[in-house]
């Protein structure tokens, strides 16, 4: 039985197939499994959506393509990358799934209206806030080739500024369209 997390209103019966998170240390962005590119992760800075103080703050050290990323093995399937985000000192967050030299799907969300884009499709999304969690997800447009996928999180945008922060929790990469 599924309930809305903020209001506890009954949503009904939730039936989903089993999935496996392909990202390790999904709540520990300071772990070596997450490659730090010009960023620092400070652990357990904020209460996460589940009520525990396990959310991490990512801070840009040097504003040159600063991100946290993790690579996972994949088969020739569709994949969905999701993460809970909150605005830190910057009102934007960029994230995406990459394979080889091409972008499988990327997104930028900002406070208020944002842009979610990948390939040739773009959608308007809202919700990034410094006081509320936003769960965001991107799905590859088509089955990727077997090999590896890399999931990225950029505090701010890909042209971030030194000192920008983003708060993250619960990163997941799963085979499937949702």
Greater confidence, 121 or 60? 60
The pTM (predicted TM-score) of the whole model is 0.80
Whether residue 116 is predicted with pLDDT greater than 60 in this model: the reply is no
Residue 56 CB neighbour total at 10 angstroms: 23
Whether residue 108 is predicted with pLDDT greater than 90 in this model: the reply is no
pLDDT one-digit tens code per residue, 1-13: 777 767 878 888 8
Whether residue 51 is predicted with pLDDT greater than 70 in this model: the reply is yes
Percentage of the chain modeled with pLDDT above 90: 31
Contact predicate 90/161, CB 8 Å = yes
pLDDT score recorded for residue 77: 85
Cα–Cα distance list, 43 to 37, 57, 128 (Å): 17, 7, 21
Whether residue 125 is predicted with pLDDT greater than 60 in this model: the reply is no
Please work out, in degrees rounded to the nearest 5, the angle formed at the alpha carbon of residue 149 by the alpha carbons of 102 and 19: 135
Cα–Cα distance list, 75 to 72, 99, 149 (Å): 10, 12, 10
pLDDT score recorded for residue 122: 40
Greater confidence, 149 or 25? 25
Contact predicate 69/151, CB 8 Å = yes
Mean pLDDT for 149-176 is 87
Tokens of 85: 């985000």
pLDDT score recorded for residue 138: 79
Mean pLDDT for 152-177 is 86
């Amino acid at each position: 039985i599924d309930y809305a997390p903020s209001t506890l209103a009954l949503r009904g019966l939730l039936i989903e197939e089993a999935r496996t998170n392909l990202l390790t240390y999904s709540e520990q962005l300071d772990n070596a499994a997450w490659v730090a590119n010009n960023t620092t992760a400070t652990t357990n800075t904020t209460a996460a959506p589940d009520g525990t103080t396990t959310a991490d703050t990512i801070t840009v050290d040097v504003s040159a393509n600063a991100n946290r990323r993790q690579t996972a093995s994949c088969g020739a399937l569709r994949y969905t990358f999701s993460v809970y985000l909150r605005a830190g000192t910057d009102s934007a967050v960029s994230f995406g799934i990459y394979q080889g030299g091409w972008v499988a799907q990327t997104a930028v969300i900002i406070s208020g209206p944002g842009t979610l884009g990948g390939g040739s499709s773009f959608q308007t999304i809202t919700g990034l806030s410094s006081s509320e969690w936003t769960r965001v997800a991107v799905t590859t447009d088509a089955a990727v080739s077997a090999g590896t996928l890399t999931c990225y999180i950029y505090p701010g945008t890909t042209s971030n500024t030194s000192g920008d922060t983003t708060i993250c929790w619960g990163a997941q990469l799963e085979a499937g369209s949702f």
